[in-house]
Structure 1
Amino acid sequence: MKLKTSFKCLALKRVLAKCNRLAVGHVFRYSTQVIILGCEDGVIRVYDFPTAGSRDELKLKCTLETKGGPIQSLLLHDITKFGSIDLLVGHSGGVITIFCNEQIVNRCSFSEQSVDELQVDHDATGNLSVVVGDNGGNINAFLPYQPLWRLRLSDIPLLQSVSKQPVVTCLLAANLSSSSGNVSNYVLACDDCQRLHVLQQGSVVQTLYTHTVVTAMCSGQFLPETEAETGGPINGVTSQIALAGQDGSIYIMSHFQIYSVEYGSVHLPLTQVMTLPTSDDGEMDYLLCAGHFNSVMLYHTGKLITKYTTSDWVNSMATADVDNDGEKEVIISCLDDTIHFLKVT
C-alpha cells in the first residue's frame, strides 16, 4: 500500500459567524450532503458544499434558531423515526434541542452545565439511546420523550475520595470485543481524574486508569495484532480505541486494556481525534489529530505521516466525499471562522 503522505487543500472558505462545532451529512430531507455549523450565537447555519469557482464565502442554505445559548455539540441521527436524519444540538446551559425536518420537536434540559458530548448508543437488539455528557460530571441517557438513566461521576466509588468535582472530558459509544471474543455495546466516559469508565445501561462495568487526562477518543484499527497484542478485529468488530490526552500523548486501548507504550505525541493539548479509514482491506486506519496548535496531524501505525498548517486552532473535524471521487476528504473548522476542505493524497 502506498501511504497518503500529504494534504491538498481543495478549498478554503469563510463563514460570517463564530463557529463552535461542525457536522456533515444528509440531514432532514436534503437530497445532498450539507455542512452544519453550530455557532456561538445559538444559531444553526446550514451550507451547501463549495463548487468550483465559487466565492470565498460558503453559500448559506438555511438558518435554524435553537432558542438556546452557545452551541457546544452536534449530533446527526434518526432518533425520531420520522423518515429523515434528525439534528441534536447541545448548548452551554445544559439544554438539548432536537430538530426534525427543520422544526424543533423537543427541548430537553439536563443540568445548568454545558453539554459538550453527545453520542448514540446502539444495543444488540437495535434499540438506541442518546447519551449526554456535561462539564458538571453528569452522564444522562434519553430518548426524544423519555429519560432512561442518569449517572454522576462523583457517585462512582473510585471517585468519591477525589477532592474536586470530576467532570466528563469526552464520551464514545462503541461496540467492543473482549479477549474471549464476546462483543457488546458500551459507552466509554473519561474524566479529568485520569479515569476511563466503561458503562453499560447506566452501570459502571469497569474503570481503568489512564496515563493522562483523556480529552478525545475515536474507534478504529490503528495497530496490527503483532504490535497491539490481541488488538485485531474479532467477529468483524474493531476493538481498538485511540485515547488522546491533555498532554498531547496518544494511547491505544484494545480489549479493555490500555497499552503502556505511546502511539504518538504532539506535546501539546489535543482536543480532536478522528479515524480516517484506508481504502485497502486489512490495512491500518489513519488517525487525524488536532488541538492547541495551528495544524491537523495525520498518523499511521504510530508514526506522524504529514501535517497541514491551519490559520488557527482547529475546533471541529468531519469527513465527507467533497469532490465525488468515492473517497472521503477532511473538513475542518478553525477558531478564525474559516472552513478548510482537505484531500489526503
Structure 2
Amino acid sequence: MPKIRLDGLVKRYGAVEVLHNIDLTMEENEFTVLVGPSGCGKSTTLRMLAGLDIVSEGEIYMDDRPISRLEPKDRDLAMVFQDYALYPHMNVARNMSFALRLQKRPKEEIDLKVREVAKILGLTEYLNRKPGELSGGQRQRVAMGRALTRDAGTFLFDEPLSNLDAKLRGQMRAELALMRQRVQKNMVYVTHDQVEAMTLADRIVVMHGGYIQQQGTPEELFKRPVNKFVAGFLGSPPMNFMDVTLEETGEKFFARGDGFRIALPGRLADRARRVGQSELTMGIRPSDLNFDAAAPDSEAMDLRVSISEYIGAQSVLICKCGEATVTVEVKSETPIALGETLRFAVRPEGIQLFDKKTEDAL
C-alpha cells in the first residue's frame, strides 16, 4: 500500500486561508482518522487528497510521487461519501460494479469481485435490490462495497455514519472495524465523532481552526494531550477543567481551587516548578474521580450532586465544587441522593495541568 504524505498543504478560498501548512504522513496499511469540530478543515483535507478540491500551496505524495495535479481517476483512490451517492435505478450489484464496468473489465471478473465484497459486507442476499428497498445502514454498506470493488490502494471515508441513528451507528462502527481486519488497505476517515475516532483509528489526527493540534495513537492522545483543546475534545464524558493556584509546602506542590486542595504527583510537581507559574488550569477526567468517603483531604474533592443521569451500568453525575461544574462517572448501584455532598478521590495519574494563556499542557 502507498505511503501518503501531505507536505505544507494550504487551502484558500479567495483571500481566506482555511487550511494552514498541514504536514502529515500516513503509513502503509494504516487507518487514519481526521477528527475535529465542524469547520476545522478535516473534510477539506480529505477532498484535496481525493482531488475534488485544488491545493493552493504544498504537495501531496504517494510513495514520494506528487499527485496534487493529477485527476481524481488517476490517484488510485476510492471514496465513500456521507450521502451514499448511489444510483437509484441500479440494483446493488450494478451499483457496486459501476467503476469496474466503466473500466470494461471482463464480466466474470466483475461478478467474482462483487460476490467477494458482498460476502465481506453481508450484502449477498441484497444484490438484486435497489437502494430504495434498503435501510440506511444497508445503503451505507453498498457505498462501501462500491469503493472496495475498485480495489484501490487507498479508501477515503467522508463522515459515512453521520446520517444514521445512534444504534445503527454503533453497529456500522463494529462492521467497519471487522472490515478493516479483512481488507488490508490504507484508509483515511473523516468524522466529528470522537467515539468513532477512538474505536477505529490506528492514528488520530485532531484538527481545529485549520491546524493539526495533535496526532498519534488513540491512547497517546487520550493520556497525553498536548493542549486543552485535545484534552477536552477526546473522551466521553469530556474532561473537567478547573482554575487552580499552585502552592508549594516543603517539597510538595498542591493545586488549590474553589473547595479543594489536591497534592500533585511528582511528575507534575517537577514541571510546575520549572514553569514557575502559579495560576493554571487543572484537567481531570470523570473516570479519574472515584467515590471514596475515606479519602484524605489532599487526595479528594467534595462534590455536591446536582443531576444524576442513569445510562445502564454507569451513571453520570453532574456536580458542583464551589462554583465549578464537575462531571463524574460512577457505577449505577452507587447510592446517590440529589443535593448531597460526596467525597471523590482524585487518581493522581489522571491529573493534567494546562497553561492558562497558551492552553498548552505542562
| Shorter-chain TM-score range | under 0.3
TM-score by length of 1: 0.22
Q: Larger relative CO (CA 8 A, sep 6+): 1 or 2?
A: 2
The structure with the largest strand share of the pair is: 1
